[in-house]
Homo-oligomer: A and B are copies of this chain.
Amino acid sequence: MPSQEQLTSSRRKSRGHIRQRKGQQSWIKQLEWKQPVYSDAPIEPLSEDELQTIHEAAMRIMEEIGIDFLNSEAREILKHGGCDVSTDSPTVRMDRAFVMELIEKAPSAVTLYPRNPQRSLKFGESYGAFGMVSSPPNVSDLDNGRRTGNREDYRNLLKLAQIFNCIHFTAGYPVEPVDIHPSIRHLDAMLDKLVLTDKAVHAYSLGTERIEDVMSMVRIAAGVNEEEFVQQPRMFTNINSSSPLKHDWPMLDGAMRMSRNNQLVVVTPFTLSGAMAPVTLAGALAQQTAECLAALALLQLVRPGAPVAYGSFTSNVDMRTGAPAFGTPEYVRATQISGQLARYYGLPWRASNANAANYPDPQATWESAASLWACSSAQANMVFHAAGWMEGGLCASFEKVVIDCEMLQQMIYYHRPINVTDDDLAIEAIKDVGSTGHFLGSEHTQSRYQTAFYEPFLSDWSNFENWTEQGAKTTIQRANQLYKQALRHYEPPNMEKGIKEELHEFVKRRKLEGGAPTDF
């Protein structure tokens, strides 16, 4: 077992750099593993006064209207903490001094240590981290179309999450492996995650047994005992409020168990403007903030200083049909303002790369590009669904994973520092080339060309004639080829034999015990 110091030192040595095994990735040129840092000043759509106004509204919602906590233990804790807890309803009202004092206790940045310490991630400040698509019930690719989620596709998506360096963590299941019985799904699914990837993982808050099982498995994978486990955040959960104004039992139960164990909890209200939240952006964001802070206050009561994050998901619905929309101008603004709010409260911030398209085509791309720009311009610390999400979350697309990874890489590259040294200004080279030469042959170019520019793995920049001759392959077709090529080149990350055996033993034992109840 490496000590904390060893881990830190090992992390430092490999700071943002995991050496590729020889030959493993010669089939693709991708940026090296490194957590991105945003470089521009964040876009802040609201003035300080306007931001304060949203804050005030959120406080009034918590004070005057209250949030329903459908969990008696949570209500008990809040009552004990001094809240106005209704006896004949689940509603809890909390005043602003109480809430803000507790929010103050939450750390503004959290470092997560997955089983491979070289994959550690810092959530907060100007750090970004991108997660694989999570939780869709369906999956699709060009070859076999759209189908119900299953373990094979689930495992293949995990392999892609491991292969692409621009994916930093997995959140929920990249697709629901519906062919595994719900009572034992969390066991097999987490076994796959921990074996097939060495990046940070997430546990669903879906009942006591599941969250406890998954915490145990993450602990085993890290090779630590229970005491050591709680010394560091090693995993995370995400809970959604049942907007409007409601937190459900299993979510609260899971979140409190995670907080007690010093693990990261993201609270993300499901505030679709016009449906579960006001039709106005300001109203939806006030409600999002109230629902989020109320749960975060509870978690800070459970364990002061517990790592938590402000999650945003506010978007709008199509008012003609009620269908959710993503990547819209409203979504971009809601996301950017959420970033402002998270910074206002000094909390790490989670957002998403979302779209509502049915096919990985231009609509999917412009909606995702807008979502990603929102995350990039406002400095989202955790970007959920960063690759592969489709249909407002109802489908994971293999081709979209590759398309998104290309966009993610470009976004990472964009934030690199720009050099303006004398050498970069190239006055001598300009003089040498003069008005009749060409820069391609100049020494200044020749000594730099190999690393001068970003190299995409999915773009085709050949001219029309060559492109046609090579089969006129569209981006979707190239993405299809590339994801299958990636799977052929997948190699599992290293895992100690003893640890793997212990994980399998644990899964076997828990299956024999019946897994988790399915009547939640």
Contact = CB atoms under 8 A, between A and B. Distances in A.
A499 interface: no
Given A276-B438, A278-B430, A369-B369, A46 B448 contact: no
Given A277-B439, A365-B365, A474-B359, A420 B452 contact: no
A60 B370 CA distance: 40
Contact of A425 (B57, B420, B424, B474): B57
B463 A394 contact: yes
Nearest to A51: B420
B424 A282 contact: yes
Please tell me the size bucket of the interface on A.
Answer: 35 or more
A245 interface: yes
Nearest to A359: B474
Contact of A394 (B43, B65, B431, B464): B464
A20 interface: no
Interface string A347-362: 0000000001111111
Nearest to A54: B420
A151 to B, nearest CB: 22
Given A325-B461, A418-B281, A453 B286 contact: no
Nearest to A463: B323
Contact of A333 (B45, B286, B418, B450): B418
Contact of A362 (B362, B377, B434): B362
A448 B394 contact: no
Contacts of A460: 357-358, 363
A366 B435 CA distance: 34
A321 interface: yes
A77 B356 CA distance: 59
Given A276-B438, A282-B424, A434-B245, A45 B40 contact: yes
Interface string A407-434: 1001001101011110111110111011
A403 interface: yes
Contacts of A225: none
B362 A476 contact: yes
B329 A454 contact: yes
Interface string A309-332: 000000010110111110011101
Given A323-B462, A460-B363, A276 B394 contact: no
Contacts of A414: 329, 332-333
Interface of A: 39-41, 43, 45-46, 50, 53-54, 57, 60-61, 64-65, 67-68, 91, 138, 146, 244-246, 273-283, 286-287, 316, 318-319, 321-325, 328-330, 332-333, 337, 356-367, 369-370, 373, 377, 391, 394-395, 403, 406-407, 410, 413-414, 416, 418-421, 423-427, 429-431, 433-435, 437-440, 444-445, 448-450, 452-454, 456, 458-464, 467-468, 472, 474-476, 479
16 contacts: A57-B427, A61-B427, A65-B427, A68-B435, A274-B449, A278-B445, A280-B419, A280-B452, A282-B421, A316-B452, A318-B453, A333-B418, A361-B476, A363-B475, A365-B366, A367-B459
